[in-house]
Amino acid sequence: MHEQHGRDKDPYLFRSARSFSLLGLFTLLLLLAACGGGNNTPVPDARQLISKAQAAIKGVKAYHFNLTTDHPGTGALLTILKADGDIIVPDKLKANATALTPVGNSLVQIIVIGDQQYITDPITEQWHATTGLIDPRTLSDPQMGVAAILGHIQNPSTSSDTNVSVDGRPCWNITGKLDPTYLSGITLGSAPAGTLDAVTTCIGKSDNLPYLIRITGVAVTGDTTATVRTFTLSNFGENISITPPPLPPVASPTP
């Protein structure tokens, strides 16, 4: 009777051991997936990704931008240290900016519509016509704009997985070298001949749009190897309107 009872328990023990083994295997697979074993996202070819980014930005009709310049040179008459605003392709721009002028830093507002450029007086805050500001037509120009900057990245690195700090947007990160001639639309100046700067761009995984372009090095006369310009793009396709500002009345001539 005792031996029969032992034989009755053996199948139960076998089934329990087998169930435990399967559970352990399943748990191990979950742990491997959590550690990265389940991430099968292929790393795209950098050249192909850049080509897709060029095509994607050419199809955008409006976007928000932010431009910052760290350790700029002093060779330009007007250097934009910070600018935050919107662009309507091909020729409209509106931004709040901090500009480095011969008399120091100035907080100004900027509006550009085609050939017409306007800026506020940092003291009176009144609008007046001007020239020499960022031209949105240059930024949208396929030969000199954002698409050209991307297309002229030399020796692009293998794409790496990262996140750019714009709404936590998941992006592919690419680094390389860039002739700063293609930055004239942003820098409003020209770089010494033969210069090459370090460039980093982050291209959205889901939409192939460029969310960040960062350039380190000499882009205009007076810059140093420590000069960094960061151009961040967001809100692609936003619905905005940019109109001319109210100008102060023109004084009547004295009889």
Residue 218 CA, chain-centre distance (Å), reads 20
Q: Are 80 and 189 in contact (CB under 8 A)?
A: no
Helices within 33-123 (DSSP H only): 46-58
Residue 63 has a pLDDT of 96
Q: Quick check: helix, strand or coil at residue 228?
A: strand
Distance CA 127, CA 125 (A): 7
Q: Are 119 and 127 in contact (CB under 8 A)?
A: yes
Residue 250 has a pLDDT of 64
- pLDDT averaged over every residue in the chain: 82
pLDDT at 177 over 70: yes
Q: Quick check: helix, strand or coil at residue 98?
A: strand
Pairwise pLDDT comparison (68 vs 143), residue with the higher score: 68
Question: Which tens digit of pLDDT belongs to each residue from 67-98?
Answer: 999 998 765 556 788 999 999 999 999 999 99
- Tracing tokens 């700067």 back to the chain, one arrives at 197
Question: Which tens digit of pLDDT belongs to each residue from 218-240?
Answer: 988 888 999 999 999 999 999 99
How many percent of the chain have pLDDT more than 70?
76
Question: Which tens digit of pLDDT belongs to each residue from 102-142?
Answer: 677 889 999 999 999 999 998 899 999 998 888 899 888 88
pTM of the model: 0.77
| C-alpha pair distances (Å), 71 with each of 177, 193, 223, 230, 234 | 19, 21, 8, 12, 24
Q: Are 187 and 217 in contact (CB under 8 A)?
A: no
pLDDT band at residue 36, thresholds of 50, 70 and 90? Answer: very low
pLDDT at 216 over 90: yes
pLDDT at 32 over 80: no
Pairwise pLDDT comparison (27 vs 206), residue with the higher score: 206
Residue 77 has a pLDDT of 57
Range name among 32-36, 174-178, 219-223 with the lowest pLDDT average = 32-36
Residue 165 has a pLDDT of 52
Mean pLDDT of 135-163: 89
Distance CA 208, CA 192 (A): 32
Task: Please report, as a single letter, which amino acid is at residue 37.
Answer: G
Pairwise pLDDT comparison (24 vs 67), residue with the higher score: 67
What values do phi and psi take at 105, rounded to 5?
-75, 140
Residue 72 has a pLDDT of 84
28 Cβ contact partners less than 8 Å away, ≥ 6 residues apart: none
Distance CA 44, CA 204 (A): 12
Give the start-end residues of each E strand in the chain: 62-70, 79-88, 92-101, 104-113, 116-120, 127-130, 160-163, 170-178, 197-204, 210-216, 228-234
Residue among 98, 138, 150 nearest 120 (CA)? 98
Distance CA 141, CA 148 (A): 8
Residue among 23, 32, 48, 25 nearest 159 (CA)? 48
Radius of gyration of the chain (CA): 28
Helix H or strand E segment including 15: helix 2-32
Helix H or strand E segment including 21: helix 2-32
Q: Are 57 and 150 in contact (CB under 8 A)?
A: yes
Distance CA 73, CA 245 (A): 31
